Amino acid sequence: GAKKKAACPGLGLFYTILSAFLFSVASLFLKKIQDVHSVEVSAFRCVFQMAFVLPGLIYYKTGFLGPKGKRIFLFFRGFLGSTAMVLLYYAYQVMPLADATVITFTSPVFTSLLAWIFLKEKYSLWDLLFTLFAITGVILIARPPFLFGSHVTGIEGSYSDHLKGTIAAIASTLSAASTIVILRKVGKSVHYFLSIWYYAVIGLIGCVIALFVLNEWRLPHCGRDRVFLILIGLLGLGGQVFLTKALQIEKAGPVSIMRTMDVVFAFILQVLFLNHLPTWWTVGGALCVVASSCGTAIRKWRHSVKKAKQREI
């Protein structure tokens, strides 16, 4: 018989790096947009996701509402996921790209904490140490005046905007971590496409309502901004597709570690295209957050490997 072709080694990690690069470029384009509110950008992103997911829902015949017992979880998954997106886009617009990206990488640490609270998963002293590392990294990036004095350098615009962006990025991270906990609770009983469908539909409805309340709904005047909006939608979608493919052929631990390349790309793009050199405080905060994120991923990876071996025995 024909020999089965061996899988390309490292393909999953390559997909992860490609996904991180696409997400970083989308964030760069978001920084370049001049006259569009972050909520409107999020609405366009939701439209792209709906257009992508709809054929999949029809093909797999999943329906549009999901199992009755899971709909409340899907609703909160959509609400929290879309909230995380809006807050993150706002953070990208008002603070340095690298700073906002670094703060989002505290998500694995907060996911472990929330899973311990709501799902009764194990939370060890190592997890506590990684949480403290992540909080230290965020403090180094935020640089509150009561610790670092009243003159804070190396930020974009006013310190007030920097602080608002930091709070938005932290809230986005907590919302994203809550979303992951909900997805763990739901498990494999709900199709992946249906989960994204809730995320896109609820996000679009919420964004439209918010835009009318804020009176910010308008097409950008500049043709360049319109192109950027389309590219953000396409790049965000591409990043999500490649990340999903990576998780299908590679273990979650190495993928989580390799995703920290997002931070590296954010620093490079910020220096090359935004002419904003990161401060040593930001670099130190990034090292703390990346160390805590990698440590959390490695521990979970080893734990899953250990459980797999026990099942084999």
Kindly report, residue by residue over 86-116, the tens digit of the pLDDT: 898 889 888 888 888 889 888 888 888 888 8
119 DSSP 8-state letter:
S
Query: Which pLDDT value is given to residue 146?
Result: 61
Residues 6+ apart with CB under 8 A from 300: 112, 252, 253, 256
What are the extents of the domains in the chain?
11-312
Write out the two tokens for 298: 């490695």
Please spell the DSSP secondary structure of 236-262, one letter per residue. HHHHHHHHHHHHHHS-HHHHHHHTTHH
CB 174 within 8 A of CB 69: no
Write out the two tokens for 254: 């190495």
Nearest residue to 240 (alpha-carbon basis) of 200, 278, 273: 200
The rounded distance, in Å, linking the Cα atoms of 207 and 46 is 9
Nearest residue to 296 (alpha-carbon basis) of 81, 107, 15, 101: 107
Query: Which pLDDT value is given to residue 25?
Result: 92
The rounded distance, in Å, linking the Cα atoms of 120 and 230 is 42
CB 131 within 8 A of CB 109: yes
Name the band, by pLDDT with cuts 50, 70 and 90, for residue 7.
low
Query: Which pLDDT value is given to residue 171?
Result: 93
Please spell the DSSP secondary structure of 147-175, one letter per residue. HH-S---S-SS-HHHHHHHHHHHHHHHHH
Q: Indicate yes or no: pTM above 0.95.
A: no
Name the residue with tokens 């790049």: 235
Query: Which pLDDT value is given to residue 5?
Result: 45
Convert the pLDDT of each residue in 279-301 to its tens digit. 888 889 888 988 888 888 787 77
Convert the pLDDT of each residue in 120-141 to its tens digit. 878 888 888 888 988 898 888 8
pLDDT greater than 60 at residue 66: yes
Query: Which pLDDT value is given to residue 221?
Result: 67
Name the residue with tokens 């919302």: 175
Element (H, E) at 120: none
Convert the pLDDT of each residue in 241-279 to its tens digit. 788 778 667 776 677 778 888 888 989 988 888 888 888
Task: Please state, as a whole number, how many other Cβ atoms lie within 10 Å of the Cβ of residue 278.
Answer: 20
Name the residue with tokens 């991270």: 173
Write out the two tokens for 54: 């709809």
Name the band, by pLDDT with cuts 50, 70 and 90, for residue 3.
very low
Query: Which pLDDT value is given to residue 65?
Result: 83
The rounded distance, in Å, linking the Cα atoms of 136 and 291 is 11
CA distances from 41 to 45, 195, 216, 263, 293 (A): 6, 21, 11, 22, 28
The rounded distance, in Å, linking the Cα atoms of 200 and 290 is 29
